[in-house]
């Protein structure tokens, strides 16, 4: 009996690597597909299966050993949009997009508590590639709309950074202008320290400022190469780095039809990291990973304790060391109560206690007063030309300096109630200093470099 279904990627299985349990709780959607036997109308001796329906459950998994358990006994017929998912540790919910609205699971019971339609006051839209930003507990993604342009006579696409409230369905656009006409299904990431949202358009990696939706960075990955790609990327708070999978495609050329044609022969996949400011991709894996592709359905999780990057192959978890680039585990899915796939996985431990280091650039040029504990923070001299001294009534944990255009120019850990900064390398002008206290205090000071 043949089975015909849509598979998001092609894979091959390498040698199985034994691994210990990770202890990292990973949540996602257990999807079980059902098929109907169909007889070929031309040849009755041939039967095959076609996709009939699917049911989903909320599940929890250990990616190091592949064990997946359902949470609760309730199943749902909801569709799964490849638009992102959120594991919210602050209200114990798992959010994904099904159809035209947010579906919300309770992490404790596995019950879908809400199904809320999207509402964008500016017009009907989608909300794609969304993620939770831990540093402000807000869900960010891309508001995608299409509209008719009477001047050209065509429908135009619009993509803007937006935030959403899954409890009301409200989508609030942040970008003042469209940042593109689409996006690639290669992942998204949020840097909660710099408050930047990253997504891809082909081989371009764009960073959007979470404060105002403007383009913060726009770089090209693998310039000039059409057979390489960087996907399934996510942000690691343990080393403030963007990790993902670098793929290489190999083709053969033949002239079967009288002209040269390319046929995909094989592909390789390796763990890599990227500098979002330059586009430089550094491949970490010395050898190809056991799978030559990944499932865009599965999602990505980083274990901050073992420094392991996990992705889904479509039929199992693959764990790769972020230090050596070598696979540390290859674990086929094992479902306790049945299942076919494990989709949209998310973990909560990475970036759980993140705080923004780059303050809102509007604070620098705004005519409004900045909230300051004037008596508790002192900077001298100010204005200054070479060095400033900072003293505080409370212990400072981190310090960051931002230029007038919103760029972070200096950051450091302090762990004291006083410190000094050498500012000789800074250009003359106005700067904003953000100070984070060990007790959660946040203060801002303006500083002038002469």
Q: 385-398: per-residue pLDDT in tens? A: 899 999 988 888 88
CA angle 442, 367, 196 (to 5 degrees): 50
Checking if the pLDDT of 275 tops 50, the result is yes
CA atoms within 13 A on the CB side of 113: 15
What are the extents of the domains in the chain? 2-347, 362-449
Q: Both ends of the chain: CA-CA distance in Å?
A: 78
Checking if the pLDDT of 182 tops 90, the result is no
**CATH code for the part of the protein at 362-449:** 2.60.40.3080
pLDDT for the residue numbered 273: 96
pLDDT for the residue numbered 3: 35
Q: What is the strand order of the sheet 154-165 is part of?
A: 126-133, 138-149, 154-165, 170-173
Q: 148-170: per-residue pLDDT in tens? A: 677 777 777 889 999 999 999 99
Q: For residue 190, give the 3-state DSSP assignment.
A: strand
Checking if the pLDDT of 1 tops 60, the result is no
Checking if the pLDDT of 4 tops 80, the result is no
The CB density around residue 270, as the number of other CB atoms within 10 Å, is: 17
pLDDT for the residue numbered 250: 76
Q: 349-365: per-residue pLDDT in tens? A: 889 888 887 878 777 65
pLDDT for the residue numbered 152: 72
pLDDT for the residue numbered 21: 59
Checking if the pLDDT of 58 tops 80, the result is yes
Total residues belonging to the chain: 450
Checking if the pLDDT of 35 tops 80, the result is no
The helix or strand, by DSSP H or E, that contains position 394, with its residue range, turns out to be strand 387-402
Please, which pLDDT band fits residue 297 given cuts at 50, 70 and 90? confident
pLDDT for the residue numbered 87: 93
Please, which pLDDT band fits residue 19 given cuts at 50, 70 and 90? very low
Measure Cα distances from 287 to 17, 116, 270, 290, 292 in Å: 15, 45, 7, 9, 12
Out of 2.60.40, 1.10.287, 3.40.462, 2.120.10, the CATH code matching 2-347 is 2.120.10
CA angle 117, 123, 125 (to 5 degrees): 55
Higher pLDDT, 109 or 79: 109
> Percent of the chain, pLDDT > 70?
87
Average pLDDT of the residues in 313-334:
94
Checking if the pLDDT of 28 tops 80, the result is yes
Checking if the pLDDT of 9 tops 60, the result is no
Higher pLDDT, 23 or 26: 26
pLDDT for the residue numbered 377: 85
Q: Which segments within 275-407 are labelled E, that is strand?
A: 281-283, 300-303, 308-312, 316-321, 327-332, 334-335, 341-347, 377-380, 387-402
pLDDT for the residue numbered 403: 82
Checking if the pLDDT of 171 tops 90, the result is yes
Checking if the pLDDT of 284 tops 90, the result is yes
Q: 187-238: per-residue pLDDT in tens? A: 899 999 999 999 999 889 999 999 999 999 999 998 666 678 899 999 999 9
Please, which pLDDT band fits residue 22 given cuts at 50, 70 and 90? low
Give the separation between CA 409 and CA 425, rounded to whole angstroms.
10
Average pLDDT of the residues in 284-290:
93
Q: Are 116 and 168 in contact (CB under 8 A)?
A: yes
């Amino acid at each position: 009996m043949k089975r015909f279904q849509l598979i998001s990627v092609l894979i091959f299985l390498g040698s199985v690597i034994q691994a210990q349990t990770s202890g990292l709780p990973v949540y996602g959607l257990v999807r079980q597909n059902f098929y109907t036997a169909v007889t070929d109308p031309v040849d009755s001796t041939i039967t095959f299966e076609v996709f009939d329906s699917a049911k989903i459950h909320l599940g929890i998994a250990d990616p190091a050993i592949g064990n997946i358990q359902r949470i609760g006994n309730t199943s749902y017929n909801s569709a799964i949009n490849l638009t992102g998912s959120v594991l919210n540790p602050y209200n114990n919910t798992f959010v994904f997009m099904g159809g035209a609205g947010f579906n919300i699971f309770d992490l404790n019971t596995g019950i879908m508590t809400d199904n809320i339609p999207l509402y964008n006051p500016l017009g009907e839209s989608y909300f794609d590639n969304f993620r939770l930003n831990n540093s402000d507990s807000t869900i960010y993604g891309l508001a995608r709309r299409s509209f008719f342009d009477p001047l050209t006579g065509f429908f135009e696409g619009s993509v803007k950074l937006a935030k959403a409230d899954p409890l009301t369905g409200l989508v609030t656009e942040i970008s003042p202008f469209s940042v593109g006409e689409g996006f690639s299904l290669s992942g998204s990431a949020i840097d909660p320290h710099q408050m930047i949202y990253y997504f891809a358009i082909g081989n371009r990696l764009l960073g959007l400022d979470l404060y105002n939706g403007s383009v913060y960075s726009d770089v090209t990955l693998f310039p000039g190469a059409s057979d390489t790609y960087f996907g399934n990327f996510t942000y690691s708070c343990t080393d403030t780095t963007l990790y993902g999978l670098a793929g290489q495609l190999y083709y053969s050329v033949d002239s079967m039809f009288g002209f040269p044609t390319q046929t995909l022969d094989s592909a390789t996949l390796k763990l890599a990291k990227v500098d979002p400011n330059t586009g430089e991709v550094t491949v970490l894996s010395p050898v190809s990973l056991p799978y030559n592709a990944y499932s865009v359905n599965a999602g990505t999780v980083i274990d901050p304790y073992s420094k392991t990057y996990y992705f889904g192959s479509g039929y199992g978890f693959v764990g790769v060391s972020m230090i050596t680039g070598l696979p540390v585990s290859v674990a086929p899915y094992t479902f306790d109560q049945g299942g076919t796939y494990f989709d949209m996985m998310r973990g909560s431990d990475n970036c759980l206690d993140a705080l923004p280091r780059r303050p809102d650039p509007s604070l620098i040029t705004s005519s409004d007063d900045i909230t300051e504990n004037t008596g508790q923070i002192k900077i001298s001299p100010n204005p200054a030309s070479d060095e400033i001294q900072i003293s505080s009534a409370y212990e400072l944990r981190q310090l960051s300096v931002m230029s007038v255009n919103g760029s972070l120019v200096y950051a450091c850990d302090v762990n004291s109630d006083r410190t000094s900064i050498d500012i000789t390398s800074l250009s003359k002008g106005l700067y904003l200093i953000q100070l984070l206290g060990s007790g959660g205090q946040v203060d801002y000071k303006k500083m002038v470099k002469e």
